Amino acid sequence: MYKIAVIPGDGIGKEVMEATLHVLEAIDVEFDYTFADAGDEYMEKTGVALPQETVDIVKSSQACLFGAAGESAADVIVKMRQELDLYVNLRPVKSYPGTKSLFDNLDFVIVRENTEGLYIGLEEETEEGATALRVTTRKAAEKICKYAFEYAKKTGRKKVTAVHKANVLKKTDGLFKETFYKVAEDYPDMELDDRYVDATAMFFITKPDMFDVIVTTNLFGDILSDEGAGLVGGLGLIPSANIGDKQGLFEPVHGSAPRIAGQGIANPSAMILSAVLMLDYLEENEAARKLENALVDVLAEGNVVTVDLGGSASTMEMAAEIRSKLEK
């Protein structure tokens, strides 16, 4: 039995979490859930967005399912990434049937460094305006590049692409590019290349099937993964994993979506796919494939899906349909 921390959070996070836990009841893996608080609503009650108790619960668990945080996201998810050293952000970009995907054959993964870059938040006001410090360390660059190559090797992928802007950011991205090629020496059978981030953004639109595994820095990875979501039907279909050496935290990319919160119409796909990533992380690969395939069947049929997918089903009705596929 796996010990799992569950943080529903804010807005539709609660709704898609309920749907996902309902679906997980139908797979042959046992979980012991410990629920914890974080986010805007908790901060309104207590003045604290992320209590230490929640961090401790995640630390003592084998994995964490996280729903969404609203305006307090930087104080919740970013802080947890740093405190738990969740240095990998894994974001698959995959075409599924029955969606508004612009391409039918996409299946690549963005491996984003999760603890450094501009997102460390070292900013200050100056007489002229403000400045921000962008940090790249050799240690972090080595860890994320090694993870990307190991992930490619483990999952049978053939190519790793480093994305950077070393022609302008000569010190920070120069170090990242240099480290990428040094790590690549340990993987002589892997195809590899590197591209500038602006060119990569263009190739996402013109030749996205050229990518397999992308490894990049924090800000670039954040932007490119949202662009990737646009290629395959939107944020409601994109999961993510935050992975360190000891913990893994799994969350949809879509955020708390306050405009539709409480209406019961949120698409649960991204949260369910985040649970698929969690199962793979726990090496419950057979269960992961069954869960993903059940979702794919429901998407392909298109009969019981949420409004954004062209249907009229509620969040829990779609979840029930996915669960029925698993039970059959």
Instruction: State the alpha helices, DSSP H only, in the chain.
Output: 12-24, 40-46, 52-59, 73, 79-83, 138-154, 172-184, 197-206, 218-231, 269-281, 285-301, 315-327
Which of 85, 212, 226, 297 is the catalytic position? 226
CA–CA dist 314, 307 (Å, integer):
8
Establish whether 245 is a catalytic residue.
no
Which of 198, 209, 245, 246 is the catalytic position? 198
Amino acid at 22: H
Which residue from 145, 136, 222, 203 is spatially nearest to 171, judged by alpha carbons?
136
Which of 173, 222, 280, 308 is the catalytic position? 222
Which of 119, 147, 151, 281 is the catalytic position? 119
Residue 33 CB partners (closer than 8 Å, separation 6+): 4, 5, 6, 21
Task: Classify 213 as helix, strand or coil.
Answer: strand
**307 DSSP assignment:** G
Establish whether 222 is a catalytic residue.
yes
Amino acid at 214: I
CA–CA dist 7, 13 (Å, integer):
9
Establish whether 209 is a catalytic residue.
no
Q: Please identify which residue in the block is written with the tokens 């059959």.
A: 328
Going from the C-alpha of 261 to that of each of 48, 73, 93, 285, 314, the distances in angstroms are 22, 16, 25, 32, 12
Answer whether 65's CB lies under 8 Å from 88's CB: no
Active-site residues: which are they? 119, 165, 198, 222, 226
